Amino acid sequence: MYKDTVLPSVLEQVVNCKDELAQFYLMECIIQVFPDEYHLQTLETLLGAYPQLQSTVDIKTILSQLMDRLSNYAASNAEVLPEFLQVEAFTKLSTAIGRVIEAQADIPIVGAISLHVSLLTFTLRVHPDRLDYVDQVLGSCVKKLSGKPKLDNRATKQVVALLSAPLDKYNDIVTALRLSNYPRVMDHLDNQTNKVMAMLIIQSIMKNNTLISTADKVEVLFELIKGLITDLDATTVDEVDEEDFSEEQNSVARLIHMLHNNDPEEMFKIICSVKKHIMRGGPRRLPFTVPSLIFSALRLVRQLQGQDGDVVGEEVPTTPKKIFQLLNEIIEALSSVSSPELALRLYLQCAEAANDCDLEPVAYEFFTEAFVLYEEEIADSKAQVTAIHLIIGTLQRMNVFGVENRDTLTHKATGYSAKLLKKPDQCRAVYACSHLFWVDDQDGIKDGERVLLCLKRALRIANAAQQMANVARGSSGPVTLFVEILNKYIYYFEKGNPQITSATIQGLIELITTEIQGDSTSALPTSDPFFTSTLRYIQFQKQKGGILGEKYESIKV
């Protein structure tokens, strides 16, 4: 009865009164007074009346109210959803909105967008599985936005609401990625808001632990977040706040770890896609984004390790070698934007990975690059100390090198160690190099003589440092370096280096004792806790007995 009698006559009254205030009020009443099921069934009639109202009536608000009520109705009761489909609610509403926007051509853009927001909310509640509907709403919004000047704050807020709705609804960002009009809506945001939106997208992915698993989806994603990946226009450099920028780039860096597929071929495609995008980031962004990509690729290398690449079919499968080539290119880009320390570390990581894949020339190449950076770009003395230790530590673990290559690299490492700025640093780096000649593995190198040469060299440097301290301060410096070297002698003594005898150790102990007593005869050997604990260790080993106990027997502490 409502449908056939009540509503038509009520509407006729409303239209005929031709008073805008009354019309608005009455339309609102109709929506609020009658139950939602009625509205659903009479949708066509109801919507049909709107264009007939006075042109100054705020139809948008009425339409929004209607859609919001219907959205809530759908949300409250899942059983009514089929009814929505039956009456083709979406199509009718969508058409009605189109008509309203067309009729009120000078509607402020905020109004048009908020209408779309209401319709989108409605669609997400009633037809969440109909991505085509959602995309349609976005598309209609794009049409409305094109050709318009920059959006003001309120309009921008509405657009952000429009874009956030699918994110919140579909926890899986992959669904949002399938909306072809989504990036087009984003394009209409100003740069700042675009970046805010991009951050929201990334946060949605991180929060829901979503994995993006194909190169195609990665492409779409990077299109959406392009505001963070490159400078959208040339002028923004100065205006960017340091902290905000870091936060944005670190988010992108974290995001890279969510791009993953267990299939090596697809994963390689993903890596290539990411590389392409981050390479456009410019010098300020690369130090943030490159490391993530490198490690993502190294994980793939490890996955491929040991998999024999049997070429099946025409496609050449992804091999570690191919990946290393890519890695080299990426790290090279980093070296040219003044992050030599980071680049050096990444080269060393790749060298180790190449070692594990048995690729000697590749590993050697990475070491060469690392040394070049060390020689030419790393000037700060503290940075040099860390860098040389990283080189030594990595080289010590390499087992892929033949004698010639290994000799060249160890020679370089020891050479640079001895040339560090401060004597104590030289001393420590040189005795660290001793480990390059002694690897505990079964077939590891065990060159006792060269070990001893390193330790003796370290001793000479320690002596020189001691003399310099004498000259400068008139008293001997701390004996720390000597005790450290003593500990190293003990290390190799226990490992069975024939070049190091108990006499050697005894001699060193006496040297240190003399040094400590150097200026004041009252100084006890126990005044240096490090020396004391070292002697205590020897005592402990003696008392332990067994093979080691025997070795230590002749040493007097």
Partner 1 sequence: MVLVLALGDLHIPHRAPDLPAKFKSMLVPGKIQHIICTGNLCIKEVHDYLKTLCPDLHITRGEYDEDTRYPETKTLTIGQFKLGLCHGHQVIPWGDLDSLAMLQRQLDVDILVTGHTHQFTAYKHEGGVVINPGSATGAYSSITYDVNPSFVLMDIDGLRVVVYVYELIDGEVKVDKIDFKKTASTHTAH
Binding site for partner 1 (CB under 8 A): 206, 209, 246-247, 250-251, 253-255, 257-258, 288, 291-292, 295, 298-299, 302, 342, 345, 349, 352-353, 356, 386, 389-390, 392-394, 396-397, 432, 435, 439-440, 480, 483-484, 487-488, 491, 494, 524, 526-530, 532-534, 536-537, 540-541
Q: Which of 215, 229, 344 is nearest to 281 (CA)?
A: 229
> H/E/C letters for each residue in 464-491?
HHHHHHHHHHCCCCCCHHHHHHHHHHHH
Residue 372 C-beta: closest distance to partner 1, Å? 19
Alpha carbon of 192 to those of 186, 355, 412: distances in Å? 11, 45, 50
Closer residue to partner 1 (CB): 90 or 288: 288
Three-state DSSP state, 125: helix
Closer residue to partner 1 (CB): 220 or 351: 351
Residue 313 C-beta: closest distance to partner 1, Å? 30
**Phi then psi dihedrals of residue 212, to 5 deg:** -95, 115
Residue 163 C-beta: closest distance to partner 1, Å? 23
Q: Could you give the CA distance from residue 307 to residue 322 in angstroms, rounded to a whole number?
A: 14
Residue 441 C-beta: closest distance to partner 1, Å? 11
Residue 400 C-beta: closest distance to partner 1, Å? 13
Listed in sequence order, the residues at least 6 apart from 489 whose beta carbon sits closer than 8 Å to its beta carbon are 455, 500, 504, 505, 508
Q: Could you give the CA distance from residue 312 to residue 240 in angstroms, rounded to a whole number?
A: 50
| Residues facing 259 on adjacent strands | 212
Q: Could you give the CA distance from residue 21 to residue 199 in angstroms, rounded to a whole number?
A: 43
Closer residue to partner 1 (CB): 89 or 432: 432
Q: Which of 77, 194, 171, 53 is nearest to 125 (CA)?
A: 77
Residue 395 C-beta: closest distance to partner 1, Å? 10
Residue 188 C-beta: closest distance to partner 1, Å? 30
Closer residue to partner 1 (CB): 180 or 210: 210
Closer residue to partner 1 (CB): 14 or 301: 301
Residue 251 C-beta: closest distance to partner 1, Å? 8
Closer residue to partner 1 (CB): 392 or 455: 392
Q: Which of 300, 218, 215 is nearest to 252 (CA)?
A: 218
Cα 242 versus chain centre, distance = 18
Whether 436 contacts 392, CB under 8 Å: yes
Closer residue to partner 1 (CB): 336 or 526: 526
Listed in sequence order, the residues at least 6 apart from 447 whose beta carbon sits closer than 8 Å to its beta carbon are 437, 438
Closer residue to partner 1 (CB): 151 or 451: 451
Residue 253 C-beta: closest distance to partner 1, Å? 4
Closer residue to partner 1 (CB): 13 or 539: 539
Residue ranges in 215-359 assigned as alpha helix (H): 215-224, 226-229, 242-256, 264-278, 286-304, 320-335, 340-356
Residue 70 C-beta: closest distance to partner 1, Å? 37
Supply 135's token pair. 């995309």
Closer residue to partner 1 (CB): 181 or 210: 210
Q: Which of 373, 382, 284, 285 is nearest to 335 (CA)?
A: 373
